[in-house]
Structure 1
Amino acid sequence: MRDAEEFDAFYAASAHRVLGHLYAMVGSRTEVEDAVAEAYARAWDRWASVRQCDSPEAWVRSVAYRVAVSAWRKTVNRLRAHRRESTERHVEAASVDHVAVVDALRRISADQRRVVVLHHLVGLSVAEIAAETGANANTVKTRLARGRRALAAYLTENEYESTGGGRSHDL
C-alpha cells in the first residue's frame, strides 16, 4: 500500500534541494523543473521500491538528471533539424558570483559538471557519486580533479573580467 504521508514528507524535505542540484548541473530552471517533476512522479509510481533504496533522494536526482539529458538531446536534435538559433535567458537579480559560477559550470564538460555539483553542492562522497552515476571511484576522482582545474581557470578574477562578465576593482 502506498503511504501518501511518507511520500509527501519525502517530497517536502527533498524537492527544493534536488531542484537546486539539478539546476547547477543543467543550467535551465524550466527544464530542471520539468525533469524534477517527472522524477518525483516516477518515484511516486514506484514508491514501494524507491523508499527501500539507500537514498531515495539520490534515486530521484539520478532519474531527473536522465530526464533532463534526454529532453536536452531531443531539443538539440529538433533545433538541428529546423536550423534555428536559440537565445540565452538572463536571470534577473542574480549576484555576480552566482553568474560567474553558473557560467563556469556551463563551460566544463557535462561529466565534470555533474561530479563537481554532486560533491561540492550536494555534499556526496566519491563513493556515493560513483554509486549514483554508475562510474567507478577512480573515474569520479579524475573528473572531479579535472573539473576543479577547469573551473579554477574560469573563476579567476582576471579571466572573468577579460570576458566582460566581471566588474572592475572600483566597486
Structure 2
Amino acid sequence: MGERIRGVPVHDHGHGDAGAGRRAGIVIASTRAATGVYTDQTGPVIADWLAEHGFEVVPPAVVPDGPSVGAAIRALLAMEPAVIITSGGTGLSPDDTTPEQTLPLLDREVPGVVEAIRRVGSHKAPTSVLTRGHAGTAGKTFIVNLPGSPAGVMDGLAVLDPILGHICGQLEGGHGH
C-alpha cells in the first residue's frame, strides 16, 4: 500500500496518474452545506484524491438536495470531464434524490461499482447497505454517486482507486481488458 490522502489509501496499481490530462468534477448534494449550516467535509477529500491521481479538478459544486443536483451534473457534463463524483443525497430521506437526478443522465450503468462500494462499507457500518446510488457513463464521462459521509466517501474512493484509470481509458476508446 502506498501513501494516504486525507485518510484514503492510495495504492500504486499503475494508475497513479489515472487523471493525467483529464478533468474531473465534484457535486456535493447537501442542503445544509449549501445554506451554510455546516461546512462540507467530503468535497475536499474527493478533490485532494482526484488531484493526487493527476486530474485537473473543477472546484466542487455544493448544491441543495433535489433538482439542483441534476443541474450541477449537467453543467459539469457540458465541460466534458472524464469523471464526475457526487457525494450525498443517496440515503432514504425524502430529499435524498441524487440517484434519481443522476440516472436520466446516464447512457449506460455500471452497477458493479456501487455494489462494491456498499460491500466494502458493510464490513464497517451495516447501514451502508441502505446507500442508494448509480455509477455509469454519460458519453465519455464516468459518473458515480458516493454517500455523504466522510467514511462512505473513503470507502468509495478505495473502490475507485485501482479501476478509475482503466475506466477512463476504455471510455476514451482504449481496448485494454
TM-score tier, shorter chain, comes to: under 0.3
Structure 1-normalised TM-score? Answer: 0.27
For CA contacts below 8 A with separation 6 or more, give which structure has more relative contact order.
2
Larger Cα-atom Rg: 1
* Greater strand proportion: 2
* Greater helix proportion: 1
Structure 2-normalised TM-score? Answer: 0.26
